[in-house]
Structure 1
Amino acid sequence: MSEQSNRCAHRGGKPGTEGHKPREDHCRFHSFASLAVAVSTTLRPPLLIGNVELQQSSLWPTGKTQAMIHLLLAALLGGVLMPPAPPAVWEWPTQGPHRILRDFQAPATPWGAGHRGLDLQATGPTVVAPLGGVVSFSGDVVDRGVLTITGPGGERVSLEPVKSALQTGDWVHSGEPIAELEGGHCPQLCLHVGLRVGDSYRSPRRELGVNLRAVLLPWEIQALG
């Protein structure tokens, strides 16, 4: 154990007092730094002398063990360093908990398969305008009702399946009730929210104040990518 670790272990104070919080934060940072150094030392590559490879330890982790250590370290540090969710720009359009039932999946081609929006859980039928703008479409598409709002920046937000008395050209304000949900899109009541900027669809997670998904891949998979 290092001298710094001994100081963190034996220096005390009255728990819960604000005067000792900086020291606690410092010791917590030191603990994570020590973990990072320990793992990086364990994963240090072998020495190469000419064409001869010298292993520095008989316990050198390989394959799945190495990937698991990497994921463990990333998970530990990620829990501390994960940035907060971005502030919401839109109003959440459904009633009930803010929960995504199905995420956005960009299509490989403009006409390819995908999921061009988010499916949001709803506990009631009322739908409010996520942003202010003008109604640019209100009607049926195939077998479902669709309401599209064009925002001040030209972005188009589509809500479905809904029933609305609004007509093309009507103005709406953010948070204003604008439609009622209809069933059939999800096994439970839900609202599909699509965002189109220019000719491209993209996820409205940021506008709704929801963190983008982070995916950690083992080193073996990253190397193949």
Structure 2
Amino acid sequence: MCAVALILGLLLPLGLGIAMPNGDAKHAYATQPQSDRQCEALCGWPVLDPRIEREFEKPAKRWLSGHRGIDLTAQAGTVIVAPQAGIIRFAGKVAEKDVVSMRHSNGVISTFEPATTTLTVGAAVTQGQFIGTVGGASDHCTGQCLHWGLKRGEDDYLDPQRYAGNQKIVLKPL
């Protein structure tokens, strides 16, 4: 019960409560007022009405296979917007594929494929601003999706789905 008291001491000043189903502290979870049940997203989606076609699969080792991003359903010509403010870092071909990438203020890099843009490298963009369109050469999506990758550092690939869209905050049992 000391753990419950500690958790209550941390949560109550934040306007949060705690629920214990059947008085069982083992299955306790944080509660919030109904209007505050979502955590604000760290970034937005790069396309309107995002639907995930293929999810992120982090490789066990950086050189092993995996899916280093997510594929969003998108037709050629679909507008791509900046998921977060940043600077256009690259726009061109990589291994004959059309790619646009941008660096965000936190150092994370977003990469989009297949994508083309009229913006120049170094152009500053705000969250939600047009950065390009789905299209161009790719062997990844063949015009039916947009691959969105997030990377921190040289080889720390992140799951974009975890950063876009509101998330529910829950405490899970240990």
User: How would you bin the TM-score normalised by the shorter chain?
Assistant: 0.5 to 0.7
Report the structure, 1 or 2, having the larger strand content.
2
Report the structure, 1 or 2, having the larger helix content.
1
Q: Secondary structure at the match of 2:163?
A: helix
Offset of residue 206 of structure 1:
2.4
Offset of residue 85 of structure 1:
5.8
Tell me which amino acid in the other structure corresponds to 2:162. R
**Do 1:85 and 1:209's aligned partners in 2 also have CA atoms closer than 8 Å?**
no
Give TM-score, length-normalised by structure 1: 0.53
2:161 matched to 1:209?
no
Tell me which amino acid in the other structure corresponds to 1:158. T
Offset of residue 210 of structure 1:
6.0
Q: Secondary structure at the match of 1:94?
A: coil
Q: Give CA-to-partner distance per residue, 1:156-194, whole Å, 9 cap, x none.
A: 111111111122111111111111101753367221111
Q: Give CA-to-partner distance per residue, 1:1-30, whole Å, 9 cap, x none.
A: xxxxxxxxxxxxxxxxxxxxxxxxxxxx99
1:146 corresponds in structure 2 to 99
How many pairs align? 140
CA distance in 2, matches of 1:210, 1:187: 30
2:81 corresponds in structure 1 to 128
Percent identity, please: 34
Tell me which amino acid in the other structure corresponds to 1:204. P
1:192 corresponds in structure 2 to 147
What is the root-mean-square deviation in Å for CA atoms of aligned residues?
3.2
Q: Give CA-to-partner distance per residue, 1:68-98, whole Å, 9 cap, x none.
A: xxxxxxxxxxxxxxxx664212121112x33
Tell me which amino acid in the other structure corresponds to 1:209. G
CA distance in 1, matches of 2:167, 2:53: 15
CA distance in 1, matches of 2:148, 2:160: 8
Summarize the alignment of residues 74-113 of structure 1 with structure 2, pairs less than 5 Å apart. Answer: 86-95=39-48, 97-113=49-65
Structure 1 unpaired stretches of 5+: 1-28, 37-83, 213-225
**Do 2:134 and 2:143's aligned partners in 1 also have CA atoms closer than 8 Å?**
no
Structure 2 unpaired stretches of 5+: 1-18, 25-36, 169-174
2:109 corresponds in structure 1 to 156
User: Highest relative contact order (Cα 8 Å, sep 6+), 1 or 2?
Assistant: 2
Change (3 A) 1:147 1:188: closer
Give TM-score, length-normalised by structure 2: 0.67
Report the structure number with the largest CA radius of gyration: 1
Tell me which amino acid in the other structure corresponds to 2:78. P
